[in-house]
Amino acid sequence: MPELPEVETICRGIKPYLVGQTVKALTIGPKKLRWPIPRAVLKKDFHRQTIHNVSRRAKYIIIHSDRGQLVIHLGMSGTLRIENPEMPLRKHDHFECVLSSGNSLRFHDPRRFGAILWAPNQSLLPQFSQLGLEPFDRAFNGHYLFTLAQRHKIAVKNFIMDNKIVVGVGNIYASESLFAAKIHPAQKAYTLSLAQCHQLCSSIREILQRAIASGGTTLKDFAHHDGKTGYFKVKLKVYDRHNQPCMNCRTLIQSARIGQRSSYYCPTCQI
């Protein structure tokens, strides 16, 4: 479910509840997520640690302690909640971390595509080793995209969704960014001009930034929300708008499968 803006929003939302807290208890469910939860090492190394920061890399949420980092990925259906540990765990709650404040952090994920990992200090998770640039990194610019695009024959939509190129662009914001940049999603990456790459880069940044800003406004009551915490509705211009009029030119929005994912575009605005 969550794309980068949602993950960033959740990160900011849980941070004040976690920083400075000590891990008083861990409850780890029996089911494996994308990978098994490293129960033994978490009980040994994360239990009783103090959390001193919460950050994000790509769509991973990183909870920093002295001995290492708890790394959380929400997959397609994962959510995090701050709750009273007295409340019973719900179906599909796979992980709970009780804090010294009396709150608990709970990870809920029906589809179990998410992940909970442990990264000891001075180690690099394999999941992180191949990641491309953050979209807000200064090095992520038109030249960077243009250079990489030369080597790729895939559709530009798949290109910008490739984590080795740039992280955090999921299926929704890929469609939205390409609409903003007026680029057809099926255009082959290597045929992009430098100008298109510049445009695409700034569109991606702008779309994600706007989504984060809109998520920020819903942050206030983070701990009091239910499972929908952290999600927000952004005005999407093409995604899920098949056969609805383009907001620029009124042409009907088309949908197509590109790389096995549904894609939406305006056949008039996006050449």
Q: Which is nearer to DNA, 22 or 77 (CB)?
A: 77
Q: What is the largest CA-CA distance in the chain?
A: 59
Among 52, 111, 143, 250, indicate the residue that binds DNA (CB under 7 A): 111
Q: Are 212 and 219 in contact (CB under 8 A)?
A: no
Q: Which is nearer to DNA, 49 or 230 (CB)?
A: 230
CB of 269 to DNA, least distance (A): 21
How far apart are the C-alpha atoms of 134 and 245, rounded to whole Å? Answer: 33
φ, ψ of residue 124 in degrees (nearest 5)? -120, 120
Q: Which is nearer to DNA, 49 or 94 (CB)?
A: 94
Among 231, 256, 267, 268, indicate the residue that binds DNA (CB under 7 A): 231
Segment lying near DNA (by CB under 7 A), choices 42-50, 105-113, 138-146, 243-251:
105-113
- Residue 268 binds DNA (CB under 7 A): no
Site residue total, DNA (CB under 7 A):
37
CB of 72 to DNA, least distance (A): 11
Q: Which of residues 137-166 bind DNA (CB under 7 A)?
A: 151-155, 158, 161, 163
At residue 147, the 3 state secondary structure works out as helix
How far apart are the C-alpha atoms of 190 and 192, rounded to whole Å? Answer: 6
How far apart are the C-alpha atoms of 27 and 157, rounded to whole Å? Answer: 40
How far apart are the C-alpha atoms of 136 and 141, rounded to whole Å? Answer: 9
Among 182, 262, 267, 268, indicate the residue that binds DNA (CB under 7 A): 262
Q: Which is nearer to DNA, 3 or 96 (CB)?
A: 3
Listed residue (117, 92, 118, 123) closest to 29, CA to CA: 92
Can you list the positions of beta strands (E) in the chain? Answer: 23-28, 51-57, 60-65, 68-73, 79-83, 93-99, 104-108, 115-120, 254-258, 261-265
Q: Which of residues 4-33 bind DNA (CB under 7 A)?
A: 6, 32
CB of 99 to DNA, least distance (A): 26
Site string for DNA, 59-98 (x = CB under 7 A): x-------------x-xxx-------------xx------
> Which DSSP letter does residue 222 get?
G
How far apart are the C-alpha atoms of 254 and 179, rounded to whole Å? Answer: 12
Active site residues per annotation? 2-3, 59, 261
Angle at 27 (CA atoms; ends 84, 47), nearest 5 degrees: 100
Chain residues binding DNA by CB under 7 A are 1-3, 6, 32, 34, 58-59, 73, 75-77, 91-92, 110-113, 127, 130, 151-155, 158, 161, 163, 170-172, 189, 231, 259-262
